[in-house]
Amino acid sequence: MAAAVTGRGVAFIRGLSAGLYSRLQVLACGHQQLSCLHTSSSLESKNWERKNRKVYPPQLPDEPCRPAEIHHSRRQIKYSKDKMWYLAKMIRGMSIDGAIAQLEFIDKKGAKIIKEVLLEAQEMAVKNHNVEYKSNLYIAESFSGKGMYLKRIRYHGRGMFGIMDKVYCHYFVKLVEGSPPKVEQRTGYDQAKEYVQNLRNRTIIHSL
Amino acid sequence: MALPMRRTLVALHRAACNSVMHASGTLDARSPAPLFQPVRTKKRFFIPPAVGMKGKKENNPEAKARAAGIVFTQEIMERPINISCTAGILDPYIPPEGDARHTSLSKEGLKQRTEQIKQSAASQLAIRKIKEHDSTFTTKNFAERAQEIFIEAHNALTRFNKDKLHSLVTERCYPEMTRGNRYKTICWRFIESLEPPRVVHARCPDMVAKGNLYGQVTVRMHSRQTLAIYDRFGRLMMGSEEQPKDVLEYLVIERHLTNPYGQWRLHGKIVPSWAPAKDPVIKTVMIPGPELKPWQEFDDLNYEVPKPAAVQWYK
């Protein structure tokens, strides 16, 4: 009886392992469909710079003029991504002249770096991407990302140590030709009015 | 999250003691075991990088390979290059001033015609030399062939067929035609030819060695074409699709005569010094102004933009 049980147990385990093996194979073959697996490593894929290579077909004369978009970035800046975020958030939606003027008078290490990146991007726009007026640009997107960190040891007392990260960040910016879009200023009164209206719009569903 | 270093040290010490005891235990000849046995320690998931770095000696893999007896063959830094076209246009044709301005019926037109019909002696010699190597060469056929090559090459440029373009255009002309085109779209159309193409000039230069002959023939053609260049975003940069322009061009076609498989390919264009200025690009461009000393001011109204000197150049 015990032998029969163990035999069936072994067969059960073998079936399980076979199922697992086949499922793993399916996983490996169908990796293109599954979006949770990363196919390109973060080291060699410079997707932001590749966006500058996209060529659009010629526009017909009755279509509205497509505004020029310039993507630029700087990699491995010796600064924290969280500290860089504050500067990136500040210049979102500003015109390029305004952004450069503001960054010139901010006392932060990242401000000087971002100003250099913006000036580079402006020159690239005029030289390579057929932008007519260098002031006619505004910052459509601007954000910071984590770079590759170096690990070092931070010595504590009593023989304890911690792993210290030397932080690096990337900075990405997208300039678009044209004047900056006007953001609608919403006051507290407008928000309150909208809230009350939402409350008034409620109805009772499935009622008589 | 500080990992306790003392525990590892203690463990190491204990391990050392254990190994010492083991070594002393195996001194007897009955069961010979290695003197220093490795002892299993607690598995470390993170080893700080600086621990192994101190006092790291530089290995010399080259000396080791030589000592092992591995022999590397001498890698000669050489590469054979095939030159199938000349570097420029030798002894270029100088087009007479006002070439396409006068009709052949007026007196000036007739004078120009007579000058052009009796070509210079050097051109005749060159044509004779070309006929030695290429027996099917005649000036009448060649002019039409030259125009066909020109039209096919520009169509290949519009569709950007790299292989076909390389077979129709020499290596010297290819970068001049395709520089800066990667992120632009070019629309070019040949509408009609206003005058039949004509061979005006021929030369047979040789490169590097004495007998290595190349034939360069200049063909004059007057035609109507449309050109429109769009930038990366599909916006018109230069020219227009509907408006055709009358174009007078002097094409230089070249062939490597001593090579039996040589092909007649477009080598360049001669732009005369009296050619009218090209159409400007659609956008406004900033040009560098004059260099000013610190006390000088820039005078907007009286400043004249310097024009480049009118020189014949070839492209």
In tens, the pLDDT along A25-42 reads 444 444 445 556 667 766
Dihedral, CA atoms, A77, A78, A80, A81, nearest 10 degrees? 10
Contact B48 A53 (CB under 8 A): no
Predicted local confidence at residue A169, as pLDDT: 97
Angular region, A7: left φ>0, alpha ψ -120 to 50, beta rest: alpha
Q: Which helix (H) or strand (E) holds B63?
A: helix B61-68
Q: What is the mean pLDDT of residues A161-186?
A: 95
**pTM above threshold 0.90:** no
pLDDT of residue A2: 44
pLDDT of residue B209: 78
Query: Counting beta carbons within 10 angstroms of the beta carbon of residue B102, is it exposed (0 to 12), middle (13 to 18) or buried (19 or more)?
Result: middle
pLDDT per residue over A73-115, tens digit each?
A: 999 999 999 999 999 999 999 999 999 999 999 999 999 999 9
Average pLDDT, chain A: 86
Q: Does A163 touch chain B (CB under 8 A)?
A: yes
Q: B71 to each of A203, B64, B75, how far by Cα in Å?
A: 89, 11, 12
Query: Which chain A residue has the Cα nearest residue B1?
Result: A162
Closest CA relative to residue A58, chosen from B214, B227, B168, B104: B227
Mean pLDDT of B305-311: 79
Residue B2, SS3 per DSSP? coil
Q: Which pLDDT band, with edges at 50, 70 and 90, does B117 fall under? A: low
Q: Which residues contact B271 (CB under 8 A, 6 or more apart)?
A: B312, B313, B314, B315
What confidence tens digit (pLDDT) does each residue in A149-166 have? 999 999 999 989 999 999
For residue A62, give the chain B residue with the closest CA. B235
Q: Work out the minimum CA distance from B185 to partner chain A, whole angstroms.
A: 7
* Res A31: pLDDT: 46
Most confident of A89-98, B83-92, B258-267: A89-98
The pLDDT of residue A170 is above 80? yes
* Structure token pair of residue B289: 């102004």
Q: Under an 8 A CB cutoff, do A55 and B3 touch?
A: no
Q: Looking at residue B118, what is its pLDDT?
A: 56
Single out the residue of B15, B18, B51 nearest to residue B7, CA to CA: B15
Residues of chain A contacting B1 with CB distance shorter than 8 Å = 162-163
* Residue B8 in this model has a pLDDT that exceeds 60: no
Helix (H) or strand (E) holding A121: helix A109-128
The count of other CB atoms within 10 Å of the CB of residue A141 is: 15
Nearest to A73 by CA among A92, A48, A91, A50: A48
Of the given ranges (A99-108, A147-156, B42-51, B259-268), which has the lowest mean pLDDT? Answer: B42-51
Q: Answer whether residue B20 shows pLDDT above 50.
A: no
Quick check: A17 contacting B, CB < 8 Å?
no
Using one digit for the tens of pLDDT, what is the confidence trace for B70-80? 887 888 888 88
* Owner of token pair 């950007």: B160
SS3 assignment for B154-202: HHHHHHCCHHHHHHHECCCHHHHHHCCCCCCEEEEEEEEEEEEEEEEEE
Which of B1, B49, B231 has the CB atom closest to A130's CB atom? B231
Contact by Cβ (8 Å): A93, A186: no
Which pLDDT score, from 0 to 100, does residue A42 have? 64
Report the gap between the CA of B6 and the closest CA in chain A (Å). Answer: 6
| For range A118-135, the mean pLDDT | 95
- Range with lowest mean pLDDT among B65-74, B96-105, B168-177: B96-105
Q: Which of A53, A54, A55 to mutate to test the interface with B (most CBs of B within 10 A)?
A: A55
CA distance A91 to chain B (A): 25
The reported pLDDT for the residue numbered A20 is 47
Quote ipTM for the complex.
0.73
Contact B2 A68 (CB under 8 A): no
List the one residue out of B136, B241, B252, B248 whose CA is nearest residue B202: B252
Contacts of A130 in chain B (CB under 8 A): 231-233, 235, 237, 283
Angle in degrees, 0-180, between the axes of helices A96-104 and A81-91, rounded to the nearest 10: 130
Query: What is the average pLDDT value for chain B, to the nearest integer?
Result: 82
Size of interface A-B (CB pairs under 8 A): 69
